[in-house]
Structure 1
Amino acid sequence: MKITIYDVAKEANVSIATVSKVINKNGRISEKTKRKVYRVMEELNYQPSLIASALMGKQTKTVGLFIPDLANPFFSELARSIEDRANELGYNVVICNTDYSIEKENKYISLLQQKSVDGFILASGFEKLKRVEELMNEDIPVAIVARDFPMFPVNAVAVDDFMGGFKATSYLIDLGHKDIGIIARDVWSNRERLRGYKEAMEVNGFKIPDFKFAKDTTIAAGEEVTNEFLKSKKPPTAIFACNDLLAIGAIQAAKAQNLKVPDHLSVVGFDNTMIAGIVDPPLTTIAQPIQRMGQEVVDLMIKMIKGEKEKARITLLPELVVRESTKEKDNNELDDLSVIN
């Protein structure tokens, strides 16, 4: 049987209003009465209802966080930074892993609305502008992180993905590479990184190789696309992968074909997650300021919960972190990797 506030009031021999004041820490209640109510709550294992609090016009101090893939270290690190900042400010976070599924997104939104969460933080994979608009029209605080809806007035915190793609590709070009492949998934952040890659290639007069989106953002997808590159008539001497997992897949595919990274193939990733420093060889990558992104989006969310209406769009700059998966192209070495295969 579920214990209710009525059971606590009856057992403590006080009014329901007194129990409510003790729970919400307001009103003038004696220390003796507080101790008695707390003792009864503990004895009965009573958990205050968030829904009941919401119905009384109170905040539930809970935020829903939608993450597309918790297996991706970038999103797990981002979720941790969001949760840490929220807890620091007295809020709880319910994390929903959506697997890039619109069906799951809708299911979790409905579920959390029933639980009367105070707001929603939506991470990169969330593609449905209409759903965001519906939430905002219901006066539900919404903030976007690790992506943007530039055509829509919504609070957002993101890195400049276009600049990150441009930086990664320009760095490889500066190392002397001309044949540069890219691995990207068809989601907002990767599309922007792809746009930066294309811009860097075009301004340098280099041909963009045949391209198709990876099926997902896993190590296996990185291996699959890299294998396709290495089978081509003119394989790339460098690859820019739009996240660290895809980059690790590229490294593994090269090793499987007895190619040395970076001697035969330079690889650049994106995110600078903790795995970038421990893979062999350590990965050159574009760093996102993950900790700051999490802090900024939580701060925006809480301002909205407290009634601030003004929208903010925060764009952070990416940084290139050079490690051992890239090197200057040696023109004396074989240019055509197909000869090695």
Structure 2
Amino acid sequence: MKATIYDVAREAGVSIATVSKVINGKGKISEERRREIIEIMDRLHYQPSVIASALTGKHTYTFGLLIPVISNPFFAEVARAVEDRAHQLGYSVIICSTDNKDDRVERYIGLLKQKSVDGIIMGTGIERVDMAAELSGSMPVVAIGREWSSVPVHTVVADDYQGGRAAASHLLGLGHRRCAVLSESMTIISSRERVQGYRQALEEADIPLHNDHIRICKFTIEDGRRNTALLLADENRPTALFCCNDLLAVGALQAAREAGVRVPEQLSIVSFDNTILAAVTDPPLTSVAQPMEQLGAMAVNLLVRELEEKPSDKQKIVLQTELIVRESTAGWRS
């Protein structure tokens, strides 16, 4: 038999009014008590009527999360962090993979609006300014992991520029002078910031980063492998490579192995993200770690704050990165 609000109230030892306040995020109820009631609702498989809430203009306690691809470990870990924090606050999350294509973004936004979600967390690219403006004007939006230059929205990002600098500083400290980089599209602000930080640190050490040593890649292991193979085929090949995400770094390791180039003896590799991939490769990757759990949790916090307080100013939170040194980097011996 389907559980009702009366069953939840009886199990929790509270009134149905208190349960209703928890469902609707109202009232002065302690965080511990609110969590206990939510756990009872989960255990009894109680589902408030989302349709009824939407029709009466109330919250549906549902968020949308748009990410490029769930198979990428970085976005998978961020999505889990978003789900965990949302669940703590009594919200559910609908996750959509967009492949960074505006037509899919538009379709999913339409679907989420039909579902009457309370807000959307955007971890995907969106190139159409009109679509971004219309979305931010119709519901609360938080951008996660990347910034929107065209439309003001709440934003949670890692310090990509500083992460790029840290990668270059580490390689310079190991004696490397011929450096290259694998990046995603420069239309993505986070990619531009990482490359800019990397280049700036090299230039300050009077080490040029030649244009032919900047390879723009698709977001895949295969493209990382292909572009690294091209770099290694050059007679003036680099001794150090900065990859702007872990997937590209895995491809770089594959290309080095195929070319008979030993890592780290003949090629040092630094990746970005520090997902689970970085620790399980051979050799394990030195990586610039993004605080993925914090990124997800803070994005949810901003969205809930927007719903409850409706602040006029849009907040930007920049989280620090950390260089995790493993076995893919070593001192260069000419």
1:306 alignment partner, SS class:
helix
How far is 1:46 from its partner?
Answer: 11
1:169 is aligned to: 168
2:324 is aligned to: 321
Counterpart contact for 1:62–1:119, Cα < 8 Å: yes
2:309 alignment partner, SS class:
coil
Counterpart contact for 1:124–1:189, Cα < 8 Å: no
How far is 1:153 from its partner?
Answer: 2.8
User: Which sections of structure 2, spanning at least 5 residues, go unmatched?
Assistant: 5-15, 22-44
Alignment of structure 1 residues 253-264 onto 2, 5 Å: 253-264=255-266
How far is 1:61 from its partner?
Answer: 0.1
> How many pairs align?
293
2:10 is aligned to: none
Amino acid in the other structure paired with 2:72: N
Per the alignment, do residues 211 and 203 of structure 1 end up closer, same or farther by CA in structure 2, a change over 3 Å counting?
same
Alignment of structure 1 residues 236-247 onto 2, 5 Å: 236-247=238-249
Alignment of structure 1 residues 26-45 onto 2, 5 Å: none
Counterpart contact for 1:132–1:142, Cα < 8 Å: no
Q: Which of 237, 249, 252 lines up with 2:251 in the alignment?
A: 249
1:200 is aligned to: 201
What whole-Å deviation, never above 9, does each CA across 1:95-142 have from its counterpart, x for those lacking one? 00001111100000011111110001001534444422212222x100
Structure 2 distance, partners of 1:231, 1:137, is: 50
How far is 1:150 from its partner?
Answer: 5.2
What whole-Å deviation, never above 9, does each CA across 1:14-70 have from its counterpart, x for those lacking one? xxxxxxx89x837xxxxxxxxxxxxxxxxxx99765233112011000000001111
Alignment of structure 1 residues 158-237 onto 2, 5 Å: 158-186=157-185, 187-209=188-210, 210-211=212-213, 213-237=215-239
Q: TM-score, normalised by structure 1?
A: 0.81
1:285 is aligned to: 287
2:74 is aligned to: 74
1:176 alignment partner, SS class:
coil
Q: Which of 259, 270, 273 lines up with 2:272 in the alignment?
A: 270
Structure 1 distance, partners of 2:214, 2:283, is: 27
How far is 1:213 from its partner?
Answer: 4.5
Larger radius of gyration: 1
Once superposed, what is the RMSD of the aligned Cα atoms? Answer: 2.1
Q: TM-score, normalised by structure 2?
A: 0.83
Structure 1 distance, partners of 2:307, 2:166, is: 37
Structure 1 distance, partners of 2:91, 2:101, is: 27
Residue 114 in structure 1 maps to residue 109 in structure 2? no
1:25 is aligned to: 20
Residue 144 in structure 1 maps to residue 143 in structure 2? yes
Structure 2 distance, partners of 1:327, 1:113, is: 51
What whole-Å deviation, never above 9, does each CA across 1:155-207 have from its counterpart, x for those lacking one? 11000111111110121111110111100011221121111111112111112
User: Which sections of structure 1, spanning at least 5 residues, go unmatched?
Assistant: 1-7, 9-20, 27-44, 332-341
How far is 1:149 from its partner?
Answer: 2.6
Q: Which of 292, 314, 323 lines up with 1:311 in the alignment?
A: 314
Counterpart contact for 2:69–2:97, Cα < 8 Å: yes
Amino acid in the other structure paired with 2:280: I
Counterpart contact for 1:127–1:188, Cα < 8 Å: no
Residue 89 in structure 1 maps to residue 89 in structure 2? yes
Per the alignment, do residues 107 and 134 of structure 1 end up closer, same or farther by CA in structure 2, a change over 3 Å counting?
same
Amino acid in the other structure paired with 2:324: V
How far is 1:324 from its partner?
Answer: 0.2
Of 125-134 and 268-277, more deviation after overlay is shown by 125-134
Structure 2 distance, partners of 1:74, 1:298, is: 17
Structure 2 distance, partners of 1:327, 1:86, is: 41
Of 92-101 and 203-212, more deviation after overlay is shown by 203-212
